[in-house]
Amino acid sequence: MGKLVWAAATAHTGAMMRAPAGDNDDLERAQRVFAGFRTLGESLKAARPDVLIVIATDHFLSFDYTVLPIFALGAGERFDGWGEFGVPKRDYRGHAGFGAAVHGGMVDAGFDLVSARDMKLDHSFSCPLQLLLDGWDLPILPLYVNCTIAPLPSLRRCLDFGAALGDVLRRQQAIERVAIVGTGGLSHWVGMPQTGTINRDFDQRFLDLFTAGRCEQIASWNSDEVIDSAGNGAAEIRNWIMAAAAARSKGAKVLAYEPVAAWNTGIGVTELLL
């Protein structure tokens, strides 16, 4: 039987692999984000997981209009990084037996989850992983969620997926100690005229509910209104509530929140309360 030993949710952006230059206030904000990730990485290592599930998305590299699943699981033994957008290239180990167990369990639970054994990882996976696994290694299980190309899965569907995933993780027998992180958001616009805008009010409203364990209320939000007010990148809050539902978290503590102008993103770093 599996046990969830650690869970978290963080923002990501390829730009966060480079410290801001030219603005001391922005640099200080970035340093507080990096400190939050260091604390989170230490907590992850101390939890001694056997595998880390990473719930993220993709930006037209592994999936595009040719093949576009709603949910896909990287179920192979190795996952190569794209190394795009100035992100240092790093590859990761998988665990095919664990991937097969999760895939089968989710299909049995009624979710038509795609198995993508050779799925390559873009910065939505690589950025948080490089910060969390700085100087050490851990097998991962990447879980892709379509947060970019309409139609998107509803927030409610993602919360239900996360709850079913948690049940599967606890029943499977391939791995004992499981960690999970959802990554994306918070407010930012990608490739849009509003790029560079950060909606701090949205970010705070989301974090207030998320840290209080009120993901059911978040799941009731209108997805189009979220994107209109906080950007197309804010659609990635799906990954946060999926991780929280899988972990059956009681809430979360914020290790950092900073609107980093050079990164065009409201950056949140949280550890979930189990």
CATH code of residue 219 = 3.40.830.10
* Total number of domains in the chain: 1
Measure the CA–CA gap between 139 and 129, rounded to whole angstroms.
Answer: 11
pLDDT at 84: 86
Residue 153 falls inside a structural domain: yes
Strands of the 177-183 sheet, one edge to the other: 114-115, 71-73, 140-145, 51-56, 177-183, 3-10, 265-273, 251-260
Q: Examine the pLDDT at 191 and tell me if it is beyond 90.
A: no
pLDDT digits (tens, 9 = 90+) for 198-254: 999 999 999 999 999 999 999 999 999 999 999 999 999 999 999 999 999 999 999
The token pair at 37 is 């990730």
Q: What is the pTM of this model?
A: 0.97
Structural domain contains residue 195: no
> 3-state class of 97 per DSSP?
helix
**Dihedral over Cα of 214, 238, 261, 25: its sign:** positive
The answer to whether residue 117 scores a pLDDT higher than 90 is no
- Within a domain: 75: yes
Among 239, 265, 271, which Cα is nearest to 56's? Answer: 239
Strand pairing category for 140-145 and 177-183: unpaired
Q: How many residues does the chain have?
A: 274
User: Mean pLDDT, to the nearest integer, of 19-46?
Assistant: 95
Q: Confidence class of residue 22 from pLDDT cuts 50, 70 and 90?
A: confident
> Do the beta carbons of residue 8 and residue 254 sit within 8 Å?
no
In a domain, 57, yes or no: yes
Average pLDDT of the residues in 5-34? 93
Taking 90 as the threshold, does the pLDDT of residue 164 lie above it? yes
Residue 173 lies in a domain: yes
Q: 154 lies in a domain? A: yes
Summarize the confidence of residues 28-32 as an average pLDDT: 97
Mean of the per-residue pLDDT values of the chain: 96
> Which range of residues forms the domain containing residue 159?
3-190+200-273
pLDDT for the residue numbered 31: 97
The answer to the question of residue 112 being in a domain is yes
Q: Does the structure show a pLDDT above 90 at 35? A: yes
| Coil, strand or helix at 182 | strand
pLDDT at site 55: 98
